[in-house]
Amino acid sequence: MSDAPTDAPTDPPREAPDDVSPHVPTDAPADPPREASLDVIQRELTAFARRARAAAARVHPEIPLVSYTLLSHIEDRRGCRATDLAAHYLLDKSTVSRQLAGLEKLGLVERRPAPEDHRVQVLHPTEAGLAVLATAQANRRAAYQERLKDWSGEDLDRFAGYLLRYNAAGPDGLPDPD
Amino acid sequence: MSDAPTDAPTDPPREAPDDVSPHVPTDAPADPPREASLDVIQRELTAFARRARAAAARVHPEIPLVSYTLLSHIEDRRGCRATDLAAHYLLDKSTVSRQLAGLEKLGLVERRPAPEDHRVQVLHPTEAGLAVLATAQANRRAAYQERLKDWSGEDLDRFAGYLLRYNAAGPDGLPDPD
DNA sequence: AAAGAACCGTTGTACTATACAACTGAAATC
DNA sequence: GATTTCAGTTGTATAGTACAACGGTTCTTT
């Protein structure tokens, strides 16, 4: 995404969630409020990304962190290749290679050369890998539940829908390969 | 935030934005849909953070990147101190110190010892710093406008509101210091 | 089928972003 | 005035990445 949040973090939740009129958006000239919303979205998304990053390091002391993301994808797409991961996450091959090396050393993934194509490595989570994922997943879920406990089901639903829609535009506004 | 997005990236926009029923949330038992929404939110937020990070590096080749975030805050809070930045972004003093050193070397910020307290450094953006910020801000805004061009004003407004609300919980679910 | 192109993954090297700990200087407290 | 506390810097270490150069493999093309 060419709109990466990388700035304008000034201070996210400074103006309470009210200054974003929940209803009078398309009434007036329609353009000013639109821009205001865009700015808020940009700023908040940025703030989120920045904090997420910082927090990430604190949350998974057990596993080298980003490897975790990859492990998760490996579980989801059993038997995927390193190249798939790189393409999916917009990472360099070398980065993935090293992350996988780490995961293997930790005994969380197995990589076996594919029988059909000897260049390719087929990736699978190990028992340990699955266990780690399960635990972390549970922790995360609990954290989100706590953070969003005051939200109505309807709000959660809509928020989820918006996020899905936002992300659906793909990594760079592109159709999202993969 | 203990809910840091650090995993379950499997593949964000895989299920179209429709499988999140936009209206029938609080009707049924109310619990299953809630959990589903939570999972989606968790996953999408995670996906966003991951990609944002990757994209960030591609978007601001000009300036060492994260420094950008700090510069932005410095503009917003003229005359703030390095410690303020550290506290605000949950960064170590040393990290901020080095980032600022970089920004100063690039001529984007000035730091002067405060007259009243000789330990403190008062930070100000330079002309060049303001110019860089303005340019980047324009780029970002354009990118967001493009990405969200198909959204209705009402949806933008609501999405902005949700993000604000989400972030308002603070870096860790805490009352958000600062 | 031999040559060349395309591919997959690894390794060397370099850089950003961070953290933690130790240290210097300058208030503030006692 | 001695101690503690606070602001920033510097040393050292680590994660995460990228890019470029390779070493095998497989697919294409003559």
Put simply, the answer to whether A26 touches B154 (Cβ < 8 Å) is yes
- Considering only CA atoms, which of B68, B95, B85 is closest in space to residue B121? B85
Length of chain B: 178
Please give the residue range of the domain that contains residue A158.
Answer: 59-166
Q: Which of A97, A99, A51, A177 is nearest to B4 (CA)?
A: A51
Q: How far apart are CA B151 and CA B168, in angstroms?
A: 24
pLDDT at res. A68: 79
What is the C-alpha end-to-end distance of chain A, expressed in Å? 15
User: Choosing among A62, A149, A157, A176, which should be mutated to test the B contact, i.e. which has the most B CBs within 10 A?
Assistant: A157
Q: How many CB atoms lie within 10 A of CB A128?
A: 12
| Residue B108, token pair as written in the block | 């984007």
Listed by number, the residues of chain B in 27-56 with a beta carbon closer than 8 Å to a beta carbon of chain A are 30, 33-34, 36-42, 44-56
More confident residue, B18 or B158: B158
* Within a domain: B14: no
In-domain check, residue B51: no
**3-state SS assignment for residue A172:** coil
Q: HSE, CB side, 13 Å, CA atoms: give it for residue A137.
A: 16
Give the three-class secondary structure for B125. strand
Nearest DNA or RNA nucleotide to B92 (CA to C1'): C19
Is the minimum CB–CB distance between A158 and chain B shorter than 8 Å?
A: yes
Q: What is this structure's pTM?
A: 0.74
DSSP readout, B72-103?
A: HHHHHTTT--HHHHHHHHT--HHHHHHHHHHH
The C-alpha atoms of residue A92 and residue A86 are separated, in whole angstroms, by 6
Task: State which residues between 115 and 144 of chain B bring their CB within 7 Å of strand D.
Answer: 117, 119-121
Partner A, chain B 75-114, Cβ-Cβ below 8 Å: 75-77, 88-91
Given a cut of 90, whether residue B9 has pLDDT beyond it is no
Which positions in chain A touch B158 (Cβ < 8 Å)? 22, 158, 162
Residue B46 located in a structural domain:
no
pLDDT of residue B175: 55
Q: Both ends of chain B: CA-CA distance in Å? A: 15
Angle of helix B32-59 relative to helix A127-147, nearest 10 degrees, comes to 100
**A68 Cβ neighbours under 8 A, 6+ residues apart:** A60, A136, B6, B7
Looking at the domain assignment, is residue A76 inside a domain?
yes
Average of per-residue pLDDT across B93-107? 94
When comparing pLDDT for A47 and A20, which is higher? A47
Question: Tell me: the pLDDT tens digits for A61-95?
Answer: 667 667 878 998 999 899 999 999 999 888 999 99
- A87 CB neighbour count, 10 Å cutoff: 15
* Percent of the residues in chain B that have a pLDDT greater than 90, as a whole number: 40
Contacts of B173 in chain A (CB under 8 A): 143, 146-147
Highest mean pLDDT: which range of A131-140, B101-110, B139-148: B101-110
Q: For strand D, give the nucleotides within 7 A of a protein CB.
A: 6-12, 15-21, 23-27
**CA A118 from chain center: how many Å?**
32
pLDDT digits (tens, 9 = 90+) for A93-134: 999 999 999 999 999 999 998 998 999 999 999 999 999 888
The answer to whether position A37 is within a domain reads no
Determine, yes or no, domain membership for A154.
Answer: yes
Kindly report, residue by residue over A134-146, the tens digit of the pLDDT: 888 888 888 888 8
Residue B156 with chain A: CB contacts under 8 Å: 25, 34, 37-38, 41
Look at residue A66 and tell me if it is in a domain: yes
Query: For the range B33-37, what are the long-range contacts, defined as Cβ-Cβ under 8 Å and sequence gap of 24 or more?
Result: B33/A153, B33/A157, B34/A153, B34/A156, B36/A160, B37/A153, B37/A156, B37/A157, B37/A159, B37/A160
Whether residue B6 is predicted with pLDDT greater than 50 in this model: the reply is no
Distance in Å, alpha carbon of B64 to nearest chain A alpha carbon: 11
Q: What rounded mean pLDDT belongs to chain B? A: 78
Count of A-B CB contacts under 8 Å: 332
**Amino acid at position B101, single letter:** A
- Residues B156/A37, Cβ–Cβ less than 8 Å: yes
The CATH number of residue A91's host domain is 1.10.10.10
B22: pLDDT strictly greater than 60: no
- How far does the CA of A55 sit from the C1' of D27, in Å? 46
Residue with tokens 């706590």: A146
Domain count, chain B: 1
- Per residue in B32-87, pLDDT (tens digit) is 789 899 988 988 888 788 777 777 766 666 676 678 888 989 998 999 999 999 99
**Cα torsion angle, B36, B38, B43, B47, sign:** positive
Residue B119 within any structural domain of the chain: yes
